[in-house]
Amino acid sequence: MADLADVSILVLGAGGLGCEILKNLAMQGIPDIHVVDMDTIELTNLNRQFLFRESDIGQSKALVAARFINEKNIMGLGGRPVVVTAHFQDLTLLDRKFIERFTLIVSGLDSIEARRFMNMQLVRITFESRFEKCIPFIDGGSEGLKGHCKTIIPGFSACYECSLDTLPAKIESYPLCTVSNNPRLPEHVIEFLMSVQWAQQHPDRDFDFDSKEDLQWLMDEAHARARQFNIDTSKLTPQFVLGVIKNIVPSVASTNAIIAAQCCTEVSKLLYNEYDIGEAPNFLVYNGDDGCFAYSFVHERVSTCLVCRESIQ
């Protein structure tokens, strides 16, 4: 790896994992850190995203996070101060030239598509430079008390696409005949309202998840329909309904701390030449639901991977 004082790292996402990753990298003394996030701060972020306060609600996560760390005046490697640069934008619009300037990329995203985009860019960079340039990509993910960390050396070890099958399938769906004729659970009621009744009553527009009126419509109709089918309405609270329609996943500070730290340990090992490509486990899963379970292993490259297969030929 290059001279440590010249290291620059791009962090994808300034959410629960992002805040932890940024803090760790700053404490590791990485002088040049960039962060990209298109989200703004919400109240429900504050149980874990410790770089934000209530007064920051509505502002850009990337900008507020960068400001918080910069104000700490942390001295980094090579006597350079740690500086975080914020990019309040969609990361899939970042251009190749920009991405190429980083030593490493660490992601703490919730979007699978955004990760696939970055993975593809990085694999291309390795191939097009004929393996002269390779930017490691470390990916963290968390949900409830569970999480994972993947270390990708594009073109050398399994890429994000190679392990795509390890992700769970999309949200559970219910058969249409159940939700329309035989609803039995509150979820069936909501599903019917969202997929059938809304379109019947509002053919001109889509449901707006941020509109108070639309949510009120949903609450009222859900209670009415549940009563019609004698379904217990006590479960139909706004929290529950929002959880179902937005597919909200639980999130806590501790899991983010664990996963982000594992990602940053991988950063250290790569920077200080303590990482053995091909031998080192590149995939760690963590589960704190029952005891404290963590397991790491080597995820092999997939020879048919649509993104990184060309170098195997």
Partner 1 sequence: MDKFDRQLRLWGKHGQLELSKAHICIIGNTLLASEILKNLVLPGATKFHLIKETSYVKSDCFLDVEDLKSINEHAEFNEETWNAHLMGNQEYWRYFDLIILTTRDVSVIESIRCLPMPPMLACNWREYHGYACFVSQEPHFVTECHRQHKSPDLRIDKPPQPLLNFYESIKPSQLSQEQLNDLPFAVIIYHALKSLKENCTKIDRSSLRIEIRRLHEKTLPGPECLNFIEAERYLYLGLQDSEIIPDNLLKCFSLASSECVVPFNSMFTDMISSLKDYLKHPSSEHQLPLSGLIPDMESSSEMYNAIQEAYLRCASKNLNTFADIVTSHNASVPLSQIKNFCSNVQNVRGVVPASHIPTEQDCRTVKQITPAAAAILRKLVKSKHELETIRPSFVESRDELRYYPTCSLLAGIVAQEAVKILTHQFVPLENTLIYDGKAGQVYRVKL
Helix (H, G, I), strand (E, B) or coil at 4: helix
Rg (CA), the chain: 22
* Buried-exposed string 9-36: b where 16+ CB fall within 10 A, e elsewhere: bbbbbbbbbbbbbbbbbbebbbbbbbbb
The answer to whether the CB of 134 falls within 8 A of the CB of 128 is no
Active-site residue, from 159, 162, 177, 264: 177
Told to check if 267 binds partner 1 by CB under 8 A, we report yes
74-133 residues in contact with partner 1 (CB under 8 A) are 75, 77
Please report, as a single letter, which amino acid is at residue 50.
Answer: F
Comparing CB distances to partner 1, the nearer of 125 and 190 is 190
Shortest approach of partner 1 to residue 117 CB, angstroms? 26
Distance CA 146, CA 142 (A): 6
Burial degree of 43 (CB within 10 A; 0-12, 13-18, 19+): exposed
Shortest approach of partner 1 to residue 179 CB, angstroms? 11
Q: Which of 101, 175, 202, 227 binds partner 1 (CB under 8 A)?
A: 175
Helix (H, G, I), strand (E, B) or coil at 293: strand
Told to check if 157 binds partner 1 by CB under 8 A, we report no
The answer to whether the CB of 157 falls within 8 A of the CB of 132 is no
Shortest approach of partner 1 to residue 65 CB, angstroms? 13
Told to check if 284 binds partner 1 by CB under 8 A, we report yes
Answer yes or no: 177 catalytic: yes
Told to check if 182 binds partner 1 by CB under 8 A, we report yes
The answer to whether the CB of 91 falls within 8 A of the CB of 118 is yes
Stretch that binds partner 1, among 114-122, 159-167, 214-222, 264-272 (CB under 8 A): 264-272
Told to check if 260 binds partner 1 by CB under 8 A, we report yes
Comparing CB distances to partner 1, the nearer of 190 and 259 is 259
Site string for partner 1, 15-44 (x = CB under 8 A): -----x--xx-xxxx-------------xx
The answer to whether the CB of 71 falls within 8 A of the CB of 45 is no
DSSP-derived letter for residue 54 is: G
Stretch that binds partner 1, among 101-109, 116-124, 213-221, 268-276 (CB under 8 A): 268-276
Interaction site with partner 1 (CB under 8 A): 20, 23-24, 26-29, 43-44, 46-48, 50, 53, 72, 75, 77, 144-145, 175, 178, 181-185, 229-231, 239, 242-243, 248-265, 267-269, 271-272, 274, 280-281, 284, 288-296
